[in-house]
């Protein structure tokens, strides 16, 4: 896969420290060894040292050169507790509560990223998306000038010509249940920037709906229309258009009929879904029916990169998401 090769090479060229808070999980351990061997990142496993070492032995995984951070014995725990308390005291956090919370590997890993003991974090082989996002939103927060954290998938559709020779970015399929039109505009802009900066493609962004250029009237369509106008106004340098039905967005013949004046219709390579139900269902439909590879959900908009895995992920998926996270950390 050409894109993944490029990203692996980019990750190797400027190695970053990526923390894996599910340190005693089998696929994570296998992935950690591979990441270390390939030189994609400096991995830090979080968890009980004895449990991790025993599990690695059972699996025949070599952990030489891989750091293990054990919240129970870490000399950084106090600093993490204090910082977490400071960040959340206005929300009713106490030092006692913070001491308990920060020992949770996901919070511990997130604090490592916050205090620059790691450059990024990848989790989700065991935990849910919400489990990863909550500490991220509370601790890392959004990057300057970014109003909302969202997610994207890189979809690789074998044998397809749609998008960029079968590669498309889908967003938001994992984070915001029902974005406002302002948030939808922000999600479109963030995904366009991700397409440019991470995937190195010229983004053509379609704002998806069940209506194409006024063919239907409904408050749900209005939201997409307003988001499109706002995104265009905020970023006139980007190719963003809508509202578009999926076929008008990616099929040239349909686009010629339904949206002949659009500079995106028929050739979109970034698809923005109006809400999480359509986005989540949409990516899974393509993944299953078209046998597409779905890389993600990757997060965008955080001040520092933290990324999720699907609980059904393989160790190779973890390797790829770590490489992507390392490249996100380079900027």
Contacts with ligand ACO, residue ranges (CB under 6 A): 91, 129-130, 133-134, 137-138, 142, 148-149, 174-177, 280, 297, 310
Instruction: Please identify, using beta-carbon distances, which residue of 11 and 148 lies nearer to ligand ACO.
Output: 148
> Given its phi and psi angles, is residue 41 left (phi above 0), alpha (psi -120 to 50 degrees) or beta?
beta
Q: Which residues contact 111 (CB under 8 A, 6 or more apart)?
A: 76, 80, 83, 84, 102, 139
Q: Which residue has the tokens 């960040």?
A: 87
Six token digits for residue 72: 């129970």
Least distance from C-beta 311 to ligand ACO, angstroms?
9
- Give 160-185 as a DSSP string: --HHHHTEEEEE-SSS-SS--HHHHH
Instruction: Please identify, using beta-carbon distances, which residue of 135 and 266 lies nearer to ligand ACO.
Output: 135
CA-CA-CA-CA torsion sign (45, 48, 49, 53):
negative
Least distance from C-beta 16 to ligand ACO, angstroms?
23
Name the residue number minimizing CB distance to ligand ACO: 137
Largest CA distance in the chain: 65
Least distance from C-beta 262 to ligand ACO, angstroms?
29
Least distance from C-beta 280 to ligand ACO, angstroms?
5
Specify whether the CB–CB gap between 151 and 124 falls below 8 A: no
Instruction: Please identify, using beta-carbon distances, which residue of 8 and 302 lies nearer to ligand ACO.
Output: 302
Q: Coil, helix or strand for 274? A: coil
Instruction: Please identify, using beta-carbon distances, which residue of 36 and 223 lies nearer to ligand ACO.
Output: 223
Least distance from C-beta 279 to ligand ACO, angstroms?
9
Instruction: Please identify, using beta-carbon distances, which residue of 265 and 294 lies nearer to ligand ACO.
Output: 294
């Amino acid at each position: 896969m050409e894109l993944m090769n490029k990203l692996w090479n980019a990750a190797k060229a400027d190695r970053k420290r990526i923390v894996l808070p599910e340190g005693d999980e089998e696929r994570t351990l296998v992935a950690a060894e591979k990441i270390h061997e390939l030189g994609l990142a400096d991995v830090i496993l979080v968890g009980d040292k004895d449990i991790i070492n025993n599990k690695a032995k059972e699996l025949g995984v070599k952990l030489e050169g891989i750091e293990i951070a054990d919240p129970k014995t870490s000399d950084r725990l106090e600093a993490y507790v204090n910082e977490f308390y400071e960040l959340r005291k206005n929300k009713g956090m106490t030092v006692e509560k913070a001491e308990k919370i920060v020992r949770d590997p996901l919070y511990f890993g997130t604090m490592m990223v916050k205090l620059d003991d790691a450059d990024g974090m990848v989790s989700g082989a065991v935990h849910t998306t919400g489990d990863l996002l909550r500490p991220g939103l509370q601790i890392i927060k959004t990057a300057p000038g970014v109003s909302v954290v969202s997610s994207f998938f890189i979809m690789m559709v074998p044998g397809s010509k749609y998008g960029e020779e079968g590669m498309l970015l889908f967003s938001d399929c994992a984070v915001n249940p029902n974005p406002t039109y302002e948030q939808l505009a922000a999600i479109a802009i963030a995904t366009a920037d991700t397409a440019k900066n991470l995937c190195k493609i010229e983004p053509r962004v379609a704002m998806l709906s069940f209506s194409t250029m006024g063919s239907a009237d409904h408050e749900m369509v209005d939201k997409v229309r307003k988001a499109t106008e706002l995104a265009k106004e905020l970023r006139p340098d980007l190719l963003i258009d809508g509202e578009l039905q999926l076929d008008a967005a990616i099929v040239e013949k349909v686009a010629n009929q339904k949206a002949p004046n659009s500079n995106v219709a028929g050739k979109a390579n970034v698809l923005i879904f109006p809400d999480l139900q359509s986005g989540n269902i949409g990516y899974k439909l393509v993944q299953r029916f078209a046998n597409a590879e779905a890389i993600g959900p990757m997060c965008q908009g955080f001040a520092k990169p933290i990324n999720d895995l699907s609980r059904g992920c393989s160790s190779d998926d973890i390797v790829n998401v770590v490489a992507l996270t390392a490249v996100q950390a380079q900027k």
